[in-house]
A and B are shown apart, each in its own frame.
Chain A
Amino acid sequence: MGWMRRVQASWRRGRLSKELDEELRFHLAMREEMNIRNGMSADESRLDAQRRFGNATLLKERAREIDMLTFLETVLQDARFAVRMLIKHPGFTAVAVAGLAIGIGVNTAVFTTYKAVMLQPLDAKDPQQLVSIYRTNLHDPSAAGFSYPDYETYRDHNQVFSGLIAAAANELALTGVDDLPTAGTTGGGVASAFGFRFPSKVAGGAEFVRVEIVSENYFSVLGVNAIRGRVFRSRDVHDLQAHPAVLISENYWQRRFRADPNLLGKTLNLNSAAFTLIGITPHDFMGTNENVPDLWLPIRLNNLVNHGSGFFHDREEICCRLYGRLAQAVTIGAAQAEMNILADQTRSLHLPHSDGSKPVTISLFPGSPFGVAQDSDQRIIMWGFRLILLAVGLVLLISCANVAGLQLARSAARQREIGVRLSLGASRLRLIRQLFTESSLLGVLAGAFALVITWWVLRMLVVQISAALPMEWGSLALHVEPDIHVFAYVFAISLLAGVLFGLAPALESSRPNLSSAIKEEGAKFGFRLGSTRLRDVLVGIQACVCLFLLVVAGLLIRGSMRLLASSPGYEIKHVVGLDVNFPESVGHSPEKEEAELRQLRDSVRRLPGVTSVTAGGPTGGLRIANITLDDTKAVSEVPAPTLYYSFVAPNYFETLSIPITLGQGFARTLPPAEVILSESAANRFWPGKNPIGRKMMLDVKGQYHGRNELIPHNAPYEVVGIAKDTRPVLPWVDSSSAYLPLPLDRWSGQPFLVRTRIGPKELIGDIGRQLISVAPNLVVYAETLEDLLTATPSFVLSRLSAIFATIVGMLGLALASVGIYGSVSYAVVRRTREMGIRMALGAKRHEVLSLILRESTRPVLAGLMAGFLVAAGASHLLRGLLFGLSTLDPVSFLGVSALFLLIALFAAYIPAKRATRVDPMVALRYE
C-alpha cells in the first residue's frame, strides 16, 4: 500500500537520497553525451544538461515531499533550528520568555483564583446534584430565604429532592473557655505592613464566633462525616433537646484551641447557654458557605441562643437559606416546577396580607455558596475582581507587545539570512512556517516558566490572605491550584499573540526583494522599514500603559497618605474607641444592658490615666434626618433639606477636643431639646446670621434607621451651640452635621470613646481586666481613633488599589524598559555602518550617541504623552479616593514621567554607547 511504502521511505531516507543522486547523475551523463553527439562543445553540453535539470536540490526535495512524513521531518528540522537560534541569542530569549511568562503567569493566577472563589460548588459529596433554592420577591430582592415552617412544608411534601436542608449564619458570644489554650490573634503580616489595622479584641470577656445553624439532616444530605466524634443526625432530634450539642470545625479547633485533643465532650457556653461539643468537622469543610464557620449548631436549639426568637414556629419570619439534593433522574427544571407548585400551595398557609401570601417565584440554581447577585457585598467583590482582571490583562498586553517588538527587531536584523534562503529556493510558505515554529517555541518555553510563576503567586496569595483575616470572620479556605483549563486558555492567547506578532514581520521579510536584502541595503542612511514604525508603536503603547498604571498608583498612594496625615478636626492620638456589643439577644433586657454599660463606664472612668469617657457616633455619613426650619409644622414638602446627625454625650466635644466656637454645650435636660450644629451646617441654613436660639425640626420618616435605635423626636430642637467642622467618615459627604444629646441611659449601641493621658495600648489592657469583673458577656473591640482611620472604606479601597496598581505598574515598567533596551540594541546593530560613516566624516562620539538617544526616545515620549492624557482622565474619575489631592498632582504625574523617561534613556543608552565604541574602519568595511 502506498502509505506503508511512504512510512518505510522515511526510515531509509539516507540511502534513498544517495540512490536518487546516482540516478540523476546517470541521467545527466546521458544527456551530456547526447549533446556532444549533436555537436555541442564539452562545456556547453554539460551546462545545457544541468540547466535542463534546473535546481537539483529542489528536485530532490520535491521528490522527497511525496513521502508523507516529510512534513513531520521539516517540523522537527524547524524546531531544531529554532532551538539553535534561541540558544545563540540568549539575551533575546531570556527577555522574551521572561516577559511572556510573567504575563501568562499573572493572568493564570488571577483567573484561577477567580474560578476557585467565584465558581466553586458546594463543599459536599457529589456537588453536581445539589441546588440552591431562592425565593424571588419583586419587592425585596434581598429576601431570598425561607421561614422554618415553610421549610418543613417543602421538606415533607416534595417528591423531587432526596434531601432538603436549611442553614443560617449567626454570630454568638462564646464564653466558658478561658481555661483552654488560646492561640493567635487577628490579622497581621502583610496586611499590617501595608498600613491596615484591624480592631483587636480585648482579652477577657466573651468572644464572637461565627456559627452556622443547620437542620439536623444537613450532614447526611451533604454526605459528610465528622473526623472525630459524630455529626448531627435526623433521628437525634429529641436527644438534642435534652443534651444540647455543637460541632466545631477543624480549622477553628486548630486556630483557637491549638487542636486540643481533650476538647471533645467539653462544655461551651454560647450566649450563656451550655452546649456539649460532640464532633469535629473535616478540615476546610465549608458546606453551603463561602468560608469555614467556627461552630455548627442544630436549628432546633436556636431558641437557646436567640432568646425571644420565635422563628421556629413563625411562618412569616424569614430565617434560612435552603439547599436540596436532587433525587435520582430528576432535572433542575422539573424540580423547579414542582417547587413552584408547592410554593403556590403554601401561600394559603400564610397569614393573609403577609409577604408570604403574595405570589412568589422559586428559582433553582446549581449549588453555589454565592448568592445570585443578591448580596451587595458580593457585588463589590465581583467588581473588584473584574478590575483586577483588567489590570493583569494590561500586563499581558504589555508583555505581548514586548515580544512582538523584539521579534520585529530581530527580523530586521535577519533580512540577509532570509534573502539568502529565498534565493536558494525556499518557498515563502516554508519560510513562514519556520519563523512560525520559532515563535511557537518561544511561547512553549514561556508557558513552562509561567506555570512556575503561577504556582508561586498562588501560594503567596493564599498564605498571606489566610493569615491576614481575623479569626472572628470564620476561616477562609482557598483551594487554588493552577487550573489546567485556565492555563490552557491563557497559554493559547499568549501563543497566538506572540505568533501573530511574529507572523507580521515574517510575512513582510519573506517578500522576495533578494538583491537588496543580500546587499544589506538596509544599511542606507536613515533607514526606515515599515516594521520600524510598528516597533515604535509597540514601544509607545507600552510606555503609555505603564505610565497610566504608575501615575494612578502614585495618586492613590499620595491620596491615602494625605488622609492619614491630615487632621480630621478631632483628637485621634489619645483617644481609644471601644466598640461594645452584646451578642444578639444574650437575654438581657434593655434595662439590664444599660446597667452593665453604666458599670463599665464608671469603672473605666476610674482607671488611672483616663481623662474622660464619652459616647457618641462618628460624624458624617451614617444617619440622615430631614430638616425643616419652621418650628411650627413638621416636615411635609419634598425634597426637604437633609442633614447628618448623631447622638453624643455632653462631654463628647471636650473628650475629642472639638472646640465649640459659639454658644455652649449641652446643659439642660428639660425641653426644648438642644442641638449643636457644625459650622458648615449653620452656614447652610442661616448664612451670615446668628444661629443661636433658632429652632429646627428633625424627622426621619423615610430615612434608614435600626429598629430600636435612638431617633430624633418630633419636637423642635433649639440650637445652643456651634462646633467646629470635623472630617466625616465617608469622603463624599460634606462636614455639615447635627449633634443631638445622648441620654445617660441610652448608651447601648454607641461607641465608647476614652480619652487617656497614658499610652492607648496600656489602656486597652486595663479595660480588659475591668471587663472580666464587670460585664463578662460583653464583646469589646478596641482601637485608637488613629487606627480607626485605616478601616474606613475609602482608605481601604484607596490603599488596596494603590498597592495593586504599583505592583502591576512596576511589572509593566520592568517589561517595558527591557523591551526598549532590546529594541534599541537591534536598531543600533542595523545602523552600525551608518554610524561608522558618520564618525569617519567627523562626527564626535557624543553627537552620534545623542542622535541615537533622541531617535529611540521619540516613541517613548509619544507614549508618555498619551499615557498622561489617559491618566488625567482616570484621576478625574477617581477623585473621590484622592482626599483633596489635586487630580493633576504634579508630584505624581511629573515624578512618574521623569522616572520612566530616565529608565527609558538608560535602557537606550547602554546599546547606544556600545555602538559608538565601534571602530569607524570596521563599520565601513562591514557588509
Chain B
Amino acid sequence: MARANNDILQGTLALLVLKTLQQGPMHGWGITLHIQRISNEVLRVEEGSLYPALHRMEQEGWVSAEWGSSENNRRARYYRLTAAGRRQLAAEEMQWRRLTDAVASVLAFEVSRA
C-alpha cells in the first residue's frame, strides 16, 4: 500500500509542494508535515525525494528560497512561490483535474454496466 502511494506521489510531488507553498512560505520539514497531515497520513513524503525536487523547482524558477529562523529559533531554509511557480501550479492543477475526470469516467462506466 505504501509503495503504491509513493509511485503516485512521485509524479505529483511537484504539484503537491507547489500547492502547499500557495498557503505561504514554508521550509522542507513544514511541507512534509503539511502534506502528511492534510492527507490524513495517507501521503508520506520521502525525504530522499523531497529535497532533490525542491532543488529542481528552484532551478526551474518556480520557487525561490532564503534562510530564515524557524519557530524554535533554528536556521531553516524557507521556500516561497514565484510568479512563474503560480502559473506552473495552475497548469499542473488543470492537468491533474483532467486526468482524474478521465479516470473517473472510465470507472463510472464500469459500474453502470454492472
A→B interface (CB under 8 Å):
1-2, 5-6, 9, 19-20, 22-24, 26-27, 29-31, 52-55, 58-59, 62-63, 65-67
Contacts and interface: CB of A to CB of B under 8 A. Distances in A.
Interface in B74-89: 74-77
A1 B60 CA distance: 7
Given A23-B28, A30-B29, A59 B52 contact: yes
B55 interface: yes
B47 interface: yes
B29 A26 contact: yes
Given A23-B77, A52-B47, A2 B52 contact: no
A63 B56 CA distance: 8
B61 A2 contact: yes
A24 B61 contact: no
Contacts of B67: 19
Contacts of A29: 74
Contact of B51 (A6, A23, A55): A23
Nearest to B47: A53
A18 to B, nearest CB: 12
A62 B77 CA distance: 19
A2 B47 contact: no
Given A5-B61, A54-B47, A26 B52 contact: no
26 contacts: A5-B58, A9-B59, A19-B77, A20-B51, A20-B55, A22-B75, A23-B76, A23-B77, A26-B29, A26-B74, A27-B27, A27-B28, A27-B32, A27-B47, A27-B51, A30-B74, A52-B46, A54-B46, A54-B47, A55-B48, A58-B48, A59-B47, A59-B52, A62-B52, A63-B52, A66-B52
Given A26-B27, A27-B29, A63 B51 contact: yes
A67 B59 contact: yes
Contacts of B5: none
B15 to A, nearest CB: 18
| 5 smallest beta-carbon distances between A and B, as pairs | A30-B29, A63-B55, A63-B52, A54-B48, A23-B77
B12 interface: no
Contacts of A19: 67, 77
A66 B75 contact: no
Nearest to A58: B48
Nearest to B27: A26
B61 A1 contact: yes
A59 B48 contact: yes
A116 to B, nearest CB: 54
Nearest to A54: B48
B40 to A, nearest CB: 17
A53 B52 CA distance: 12
Contacts of A22: 75, 77
A59 B53 CA distance: 11
A26 B70 contact: yes
Dominant SS among interface residues on chain B? helix
Nearest to A16: B55
A66 B47 contact: no
A176 to B, nearest CB: 88
Interface in B35-81: 46-48, 51-52, 55-56, 58-61, 67, 70, 74-77
Contacts of B74: 26, 29-30
Interface of B: 27-29, 32, 46-48, 51-52, 55-56, 58-61, 67, 70, 74-77
A19 B78 CA distance: 12
A2 B51 contact: no
B21 to A, nearest CB: 16
Given A9-B59, A27-B27, A53-B47, 8 more contacts: A5-B59, A19-B77, A23-B51, A26-B29, A53-B48, A59-B51, A66-B52, A66-B59
Given A26-B70, A27-B47, A59-B47, A6 B52 contact: no
A9 B59 CA distance: 9
Given A2-B60, A26-B74, A27-B47, A66 B55 contact: yes
A448 B8 CA distance: 53
B69 to A, nearest CB: 10
A62 B54 CA distance: 12
A66 B77 contact: no
A768 B29 CA distance: 109
Contacts of B75: 22, 26
Given A26-B75, A29-B74, A52-B47, A2 B27 contact: no
A31 B59 contact: no
Contacts of B29: 26-27, 30-31
Nearest to A59: B48
A21 to B, nearest CB: 11
Contacts of B58: 5
Contacts of B56: 66
Nearest to A28: B47
B101 to A, nearest CB: 31
Which has the most chain A C-beta neighbours within 10 Å: B27, B28, B59, B74?
A: B59
Contacts of A6: 59
A334 B58 CA distance: 65
Contacts of B46: 52, 54
B47 A26 contact: no
Nearest to A60: B51
A456 to B, nearest CB: 53
Contacts of A24: 51
Contacts of A53: 47-48
A27 to B, nearest CB: 5
A31 B47 CA distance: 11
Contacts of A27: 27-29, 32, 47, 51
Contacts of A52: 46-47
Nearest to A19: B77
Contacts of A65: 52
A29 B75 CA distance: 11
A5 B82 CA distance: 15
A19 B75 CA distance: 11
Contacts of B48: 53-55, 58-59, 62
A22 B67 CA distance: 10
A59 B50 CA distance: 10
A540 B58 CA distance: 58
A58 B49 CA distance: 11
Nearest to A30: B29
Contacts of A31: 29
